[in-house]
């Protein structure tokens, strides 16, 4: 079920912020009314595709910040695993230098609430809970507006890395729509012509393209 149009969860969980500080009560709710929220899940620390995504988000972090957005990552690892990975040099498979928050969802509840946990709990005939699949999050990305309402979501399977450029482009489209009331057509990027949401506006746009 899509979460677009719903308020993003203002969960409370441990996290590592500023690349080094462990906090026990991190919440997305602190940004409501102030910032756009780019919240993404990744499967696990100390893996292979995940650091390429996280380091790319860090590389583009100033671009998100210029647009009034925060970037937050989350996996089912502990805050201590996050901290260790953040202290590990890139040449050794680490993500040293990343400064945006990494949330610890060791209880799996955040991933379950967002519907992106790769596995699920089943029950035996004896009533015992058994986890089937992998207890990690899929590669999911959410963009919420400044009121905390989710406006965009995309979910990839474990082996498919996401595009940070596309996340930034989508954020630009959201900001443009909010500011101008114009809708953004296929492949739109910041600076391109958008169109008015009328049949006349669509016809005019198509005649020029």
pLDDT digits (tens, 9 = 90+) for 119-171: 777 787 888 877 777 899 999 999 999 999 999 999 999 999 999 999 999 99
> Annotated catalytic residue: which of 37, 50, 143, 144?
50
Helices (H) and strands (E) in the chain, counts: 6, 9
Give the DSSP letter string of 104-156.
Answer: E-TTSHHHHHHT-BSSEEEE-TT--EEEES-SSB-EEEEEE-TTSBEEEEEEE
Residue 74 appears among annotated catalytic residues: no
pLDDT at 64 over 90: yes
Residue from 171, 181, 176, 180 nearest 151 by CA? 171
How many beta carbons lie within 10 A of that of residue 84, not counting itself?
Answer: 15
What would the pLDDT profile of 21-30 be if each residue is shown by its tens digit?
999 999 999 9
Q: Which domains does the chain have, with CATH numbers?
A: 12-162 (3.40.30.10)
- The DSSP letter of residue 76 is S
Q: How far apart are CA 174 and CA 50, in angstroms?
A: 26
Q: Is the pTM of this model over 0.85?
A: yes
Between helix 49-59 and helix 164-180 the angle, nearest 10°, is 40
pLDDT digits (tens, 9 = 90+) for 66-121: 999 999 999 999 999 999 999 999 999 999 999 999 999 999 999 999 999 997 77
**Could you give phi then psi for residue 142, rounded to 5 degrees?**
-125, 140
CA distance 168 to 195: 20
CA distances in angstroms from 22 to 3, 59, 63, 92, 173, listed in the order given: 29, 22, 25, 22, 34
Judged by DSSP in three states, 26 sits in strand
Residue 156: which of 164, 168, 148, 145 has the closest Cα? 164
Are 58 and 100 in contact by the 8 Å Cβ rule? The answer is: yes
């Amino acid at each position: 079920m899509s979460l677009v149009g719903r308020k993003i969860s203002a969960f409370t969980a441990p996290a590592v912020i500023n690349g080094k500080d462990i906090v026990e009560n991190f919440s997305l709710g602190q940004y409501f009314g102030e910032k756009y929220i780019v919240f993404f899940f990744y499967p696990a620390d100390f893996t292979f595709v995940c650091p390429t995504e996280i380091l790319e988000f860090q590389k583009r972090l100033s671009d998100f910040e210029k647009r009034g957005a925060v970037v937050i990552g989350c996996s089912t690892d502990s805050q201590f695993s996050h901290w260790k990975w953040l202290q590990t040099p890139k040449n050794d498979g680490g993500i040293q230098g990343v400064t945006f928050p990494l949330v610890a969802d060791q209880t799996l509840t955040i991933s379950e609430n967002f519907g992106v946990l790769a596995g699920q709990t089943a029950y035996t005939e004896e009533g015992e809970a058994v986890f089937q699949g992998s207890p990690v999050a899929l590669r999911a990305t959410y963009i919420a507006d400044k009121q905390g309402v989710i406006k965009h979501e995309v979910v990839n399977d474990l082996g498919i890395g996401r595009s940070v450029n596309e996340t930034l482009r989508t954020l630009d489209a959201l900001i443009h729509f909010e500011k101008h009331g114009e809708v953004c057509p296929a492949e739109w990027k910041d600076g391109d012509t958008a169109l008015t949401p009328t049949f006349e506006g669509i016809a005019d746009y198509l005649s020029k393209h």
